[in-house]
A and B are shown apart, each in its own frame.
Chain A
Amino acid sequence: MLSGWMPPNVSTFGGQIDSVVYLILYIVGFFFLLAEGLLIYFSISSRRRAPRQAHYNRGERPREAVWILVPALVVLGLDLGIDSAGHHAWELEKSIRPPSTIEIKVTAKQFNWEFTYAGPDGKLGTPDDVTVENDLHVPVGQVIRLSLNSEDVIHSMWVPNFRLKQDVVPGRAIPAWFEATKPGTYEIACSELCGFGHYSMRGSIIVQTADQHAKWMNDNVLHAANTSASAK
């Protein structure tokens, strides 16, 4: 039902997030239809028809109150179930960051995204790092570890296709990660108001096959001549 509206998921942890969303949809959908249905049904069936009087009922006796309290407890139970499922999905994206050789420094600024690759020496934070604007090239099927940084205000890295969202806060280096399952180009949006250019702060993640990516890295990052030509 929602899948028609949500962009297709191509990340490893995205499926778990979607499951939680669907779980919530089924549970609240049921209660929504029940509550609205009863509301409408009672309104119509109880419309005034003289001389029939309303049934005097204060709902304070235990056998009356249970009609409210038991459903409320069911709601509580189901909600805790939602939280439990949510906890697993949350941990997957936010707490458990698998190891990987691919580390990218992401810099958000007014108003675009920069991606810094470790250069030929394989280490981030050294002079041979290569920074590109707007487009992040990564290989499919591999864990990509990110360090999110902001140069100015709070931004938020939002990749709908990965179900990945993380605010980027100045003064902090916030870890994130993903593993893409399918090659393609996936858009990054900024999802925290960051100034007048907030609406156009588009980036993209270009997921390539291993071969394509190796070639791209060779042409753009690893070649020594390119390190001084980093697009800044």
Chain B
Amino acid sequence: MNIAIKPHEHEQHQLGFVRRYIFSTDHKVIGKQYMALSALMAIIGGFSAYIIRWQLAWPESSVPGWGPIGPDQYNAIVTMHGTVMVFFVAMPFLLGGFGNFLIPLMVGADDMAFPRLNAMSFWTQCVASLVLIASMFAPEGPAAAGWTAYVPLSDNPIYTGVYLGQDLWILASALEFASFLMGGVNFVTTALNLRASGMTLMRLPLFVWMEITAAVVFLLSVGPLIAAAIMLLLDRRLGTSFFRPDKGGDPLLWEHLFWFFGHPEVYVVALPGVGIMLEVMPVFARKPIFGYKMIVYSTIAAGLLSFIVWAHHMFVSGMDPRLATPFSITTIMISVPFAIIVFAMIATLWRSSIRFSAAMLFALGGLASFILGGVTGIFLGSQASDIYMHGTYFVVAHFHYTMFPVTFFGGFAGLYFWFPKMFGRAMNELWGKVHFWLSSLFFNGIFIPLFLVGIGGSPRRIYELSSYDMLKPLQPLHVIATVCALGLFAAQIPFIVNLFYSMVRGKVAEKNPWHANTLEWTLDSPLHHPNFPVPPRVYRDPYEYSVPNLSEDWLPQDQPPSLVEAATAAR
């Protein structure tokens, strides 16, 4: 039984521009707003990456378009890069953007459970983004203690020279947490409560499973970091001594509280990105996802396990060495559900019939890169190997091979795939493929050299290599990486042109150009409000492709069985 129709929905078309497009409570508008916001923040995140890469390749030179850069500025830019990319690009794009846009559509609901809370979550994220940007103009510059903000470096302003900037960083992070807490509550409630008739949990698209798991993991993991952030702010401003060793505080407490959140957080980002790949792949392979239930259980297992692995970030931190092996074991265990999911995705391709659309290329390329990221994690999850690899560029390359593919490749796969549904027009497929191949080439060109830089022993977050004789031979690798980074930025130009051109002049798209089964494709493009003029009724799971003896190679979730039998009989 569907939700009761809310009377205000029929008045949507009578709302003014501001209520309809700016303070909209429509999840589809809010989803696009999140995407636009994260795209703007991605410019900042990307530009900071440009500065970092230029500085590392050519330390003697001034960065074109920015100016000369000193080591304290460098640390601030590294901090901003990490903070922006994780909290202000990846999360809003994958969860706020795709999650908001798709969850109600995929479960057959007319909107999120709490539309006004949804709007508030977006505007909170906006304020958070503004606060972070404002911090960049603070007198001593923005936070410069890394996105991990280890104490006492971040706790006592004298160590970085940064006063207001770090406090604003704490405030921006807190607002971001609040935004995603609100969003997470909405996602879980909507997916559990507002499903259409017949949409059992085991018929949910895997993307929805991924988003719910990510939301729950975030909700349960962020608390301790909120506590830690409060403690940090109190230390900085009220003279408490939670983390100050000279007054009995313990810097390691920050690390435990941060990573208790920090590790589950990376799965909060990774799962939705993988979820997008899981939606795109069966459509373009015309084949069911292999092992739906295995993937669901593995996802839940990964979510649960993510809470007991955090100290693998702290093997050499000075914590009791006896904790190392237990956390190595739990970390190794978490590779099993991910292995299952990856193997299942590969098995989906076996004996399929693949059309290499731009979306499919991005999904496959994302998976291929994610596999490298995943296996390199073993070097870090093993306590002994981590002694060498911790704090080196190996870690940087590892997490860029996990977080970047799911956000960038997964995100673009989703964008090329759902663009017709979002804007009623088609993106240019040829330029999409150019975008993919160039991005793939340059992405790998950046980070493979960085693995080698790390194996060569280079620490992270260093302004230049020349201080160390042992690292000087690695300099050419940084040059290669930077040249490829410039290529990667340039490779986004076809996409940007394609995106804006297609939004206004793209070929008008039909309702279901990809012949996909999930509920959003049963509706007109662009979508209306309310989503479903008639409440949908679901009869099967989303991946019934190439079912034998049917006239079509796809079978929508809402097609009644009587019609299916008629189609079979007609053959």
Contact = CB atoms under 8 A, between A and B. Distances in A.
Chains A and B touch (C-beta atoms under 8 A apart): yes
A65 interface: yes
The 9 A-B pairs of least Cβ separation, nearest first, read A171-B245, A59-B290, A160-B457, A191-B391, A89-B384, A199-B462, A196-B72, A86-B384, A42-B349
Given A17-B385, A65-B291, A94 B325 contact: no
Contacts of A53: 286, 353, 546, 553
Interface in B436-491: 452, 455-464, 467-471
Nearest to B149: A193
A54 B456 contact: no
A193 B384 contact: no
A196 B71 contact: yes
A153 B153 contact: yes
Contact of A60 (B293, B318, B336, B356): B293
Nearest to B546: A54
A193 B152 contact: no
Interface in A137-179: 152-154, 156, 158, 160-161, 163-172, 174
B368 A39 contact: yes
Contacts of A57: 287-288, 290, 350-351
Contacts of B159: 110, 152-153, 194-195
B342 interface: yes
Interface residues of A, number: 92
A128 B349 CA distance: 72
12 contacts: A2-B455, A36-B368, A42-B352, A46-B352, A48-B354, A57-B290, A90-B324, A152-B152, A189-B468, A198-B71, A198-B463, A199-B461
A24 interface: yes
Contacts, number: 306
A181 B385 CA distance: 21
Nearest to A189: B459
B150 A87 contact: no
Contacts of A80: 329, 332
A225 interface: no
B392 A191 contact: yes
A110 B456 CA distance: 24
Interface stretch (B125-133, B190-198, B373-381): B373-381
Contacts of A189: 457-459, 468, 471
Given A39-B349, A69-B340, 18 more contacts: A6-B456, A28-B375, A28-B379, A35-B343, A39-B367, A43-B354, A43-B356, A56-B546, A59-B292, A68-B291, A72-B343, A90-B325, A110-B159, A169-B252, A169-B317, A170-B246, A170-B251, A196-B160
Interface in B400-445: none
- Tell which of A25, A43, A64, A166 has the most Cβ of chain B within 10 Å: A43
B351 A17 contact: no
A79 interface: yes
B375 to A, nearest CB: 4
A59 B344 contact: yes
Interface string A194-211: 111111111000000000
Contacts of A192: 150, 391
Nearest to A96: B321
Contacts of A65: 291, 294
A205 B372 CA distance: 35
A39 B364 contact: yes
B463 A90 contact: no
A189 B427 CA distance: 49
Interface residues of B, number: 99
B230 interface: no
Contacts of A47: 353-354, 356
B85 interface: no
Contact of A42 (B250, B321, B346, B392): B346
B4 to A, nearest CB: 36
- Tell which of B288, B391, B457, B470 has the most Cβ of chain A within 10 Å: B457
A190 B541 CA distance: 53
Nearest to A84: B325
A129 interface: no
Interface in B326-349: 328-329, 332-333, 335-336, 339-340, 342-344, 346-349
B528 interface: no
Interface in A78-125: 79-80, 82-83, 85-90, 93-95, 110
Given A6-B457, A95-B322, A170 B152 contact: yes
B478 to A, nearest CB: 13
A90 B321 contact: yes
B352 A55 contact: yes
A187 interface: yes
Contact of B378 (A16, A79, A87): A79
Contacts of B152: 152-154, 170
Nearest to A21: B385
B547 interface: yes
B232 to A, nearest CB: 14
A56 B546 CA distance: 6
Given A83-B328, A198-B75, A202-B468, A71 B339 contact: yes
A7 B392 contact: no
Contact of B457 (A7, A46, A55, A202): A7
Contacts of B371: 32, 35-36, 39
Given A60-B291, A68-B347, A71-B339, A198 B317 contact: no
Contacts of A49: 353
A76 interface: yes
Contact of A46 (B150, B333, B349, B375): B349
A29 B292 CA distance: 27
A10 interface: no
Contacts of A168: 318
Given A79-B378, A152-B159, A199 B467 contact: yes
Contact of B251 (A46, A71, A82, A171): A171
Given A163-B388, A167-B316, A193-B75, A154 B456 contact: no
A65 B295 CA distance: 11
A143 B458 CA distance: 26
Contacts of A191: 390-392, 459-460
B307 interface: no
A67 B387 CA distance: 35
Nearest to B455: A5
Given A35-B371, A59-B290, A95-B321, A75 B347 contact: no
A24 B354 contact: no
A197 to B, nearest CB: 7
B146 interface: yes
B342 A35 contact: yes
